[in-house]
């Protein structure tokens, strides 16, 4: 069983989704220590998108994050001679986070799983409309071959949508909007909104889907 308090790894411009994989290069001393402690114990931390951060990759210590992150499990590690790490993480599930004061160099948060209803059937007409928008998006950005490859994998619907969300070059806040979906049908509907929003130049009436 994982502890109720886990390391919090805030990142700009990066959203991790359940079932997907993400390579990370760990170079800051505080996150080197975080990685070493995770490897010596439970292998898990929480990755969360920072709410506002531009410029260099170093994230200010106090950068606020969204309230939903993704539980990440370290599945592969390369320890470098100077103390840095290359790691591969897999998203486990979306989690609600509540950051607490930390006695470690890195941030920590209490967490609880976000409910996700992945059992509801995806209606054929809704899936067809989504796929049509997906291919229009792929054609617009010259991604048709990559999208076809993903569709040919015959993944479960939630895994497919999360994999597409991870792979496509969407705005980080739009990806956060998808991560926070409470179920498969909501995720599919939100994803369809994001695709159409992007295809219309992100100037549809009503503004951002977030």
**CATH code of the domain made up of 5-113:** 2.30.130.40
- Give the Cα separation of 61 and 174 in Å (integer): 24
45 has which bridge partners? 72
Task: Classify strands 107-113 and 21-26 as parallel, antiparallel or unpaired.
Answer: unpaired
Question: What is the percentage of the chain residues whose pLDDT exceeds 90?
Answer: 87
- Calculate the alpha carbon distances from 29 to 25, 87, 91, 156 in Å: 12, 15, 23, 39
| Amino acid 201: pLDDT | 80
- Please report the pLDDT score of residue 206 as a whole number: 45
Q: Domain-by-domain residue ranges, the chain?
A: 5-113, 124-199
Q: Are 164 and 146 spatial neighbours (Cβ–Cβ below 8 Å)? A: no
Query: According to the model, what pLDDT value does residue 63 have?
Result: 85
pLDDT computed for residue 41 by the predictor: 97
For the chain, 210 residues long, the average pLDDT of each consecutive 10-residue run is 96 96 97 97 97 62 90 98 97 97 96 95 96 97 96 95 96 97 98 95 50
C-alpha torsion 100→103→105→109, nearest 10: -20
State the pLDDT at residue 153: 94
Q: Provide φ and ψ at 86, rounded to 5°.
A: -105, 125
DSSP strands (E only) in 18-163: 21-26, 44-49, 68-79, 85-100, 107-113
> Which value, to the nearest 10 degrees, does the dihedral of the CA atoms of residues 130, 177, 199, 118 take?
-10
What pTM was computed for the model? 0.91
Contact between 78 and 66 (Cβ < 8 Å): no
Phi-psi region of 142 (alpha: psi -120 to 50; beta: other; left: phi over 0): left
Q: What CA–CA distance (Å, rounded) separates 139 from 145?
A: 9
Contacts of 170 (CB under 8 A, 6+ apart): 178, 194, 198
Q: Cα–Cα distance between 108 and 4 in angstroms, integer?
A: 10
């Amino acid at each position: 069983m994982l502890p109720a308090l886990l390391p919090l790894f805030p990142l700009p411009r990066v959203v991790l989704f359940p079932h997907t994989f993400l390579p990370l290069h760990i170079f800051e001393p505080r996150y080197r220590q975080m990685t070493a402690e995770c490897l010596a114990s439970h292998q898990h931390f929480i990755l969360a998108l920072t709410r506002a951060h531009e410029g260099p990759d170093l994230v200010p210590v106090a950068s606020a994050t969204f309230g939903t992150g993704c539980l990440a499990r370290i599945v592969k590690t390369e320890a470098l001679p100077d103390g840095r790490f290359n790691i591969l993480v897999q998203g486990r599930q979306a989690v609600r986070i509540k950051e607490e004061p930390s006695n470690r160099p890195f941030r920590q948060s209490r967490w609880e799983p976000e409910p996700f209803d992945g059992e509801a059937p995806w209606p054929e007409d809704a899936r067809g409309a989504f796929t049509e928008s997906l291919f229009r998006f792929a054609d617009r950005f010259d991604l048709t071959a990559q999208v076809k490859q993903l569709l040919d994998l015959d993944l479960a619907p939630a895994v497919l949508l999360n994999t597409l969300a991870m792979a496509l070059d969407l705005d980080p806040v739009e990806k956060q909007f998808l991560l926070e979906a409470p179920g498969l049908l909501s995720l599919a509907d939100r994803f369809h909104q994001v695709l159409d929003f992007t295809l219309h130049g992100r100037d549809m009436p009503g503004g951002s889907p977030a």
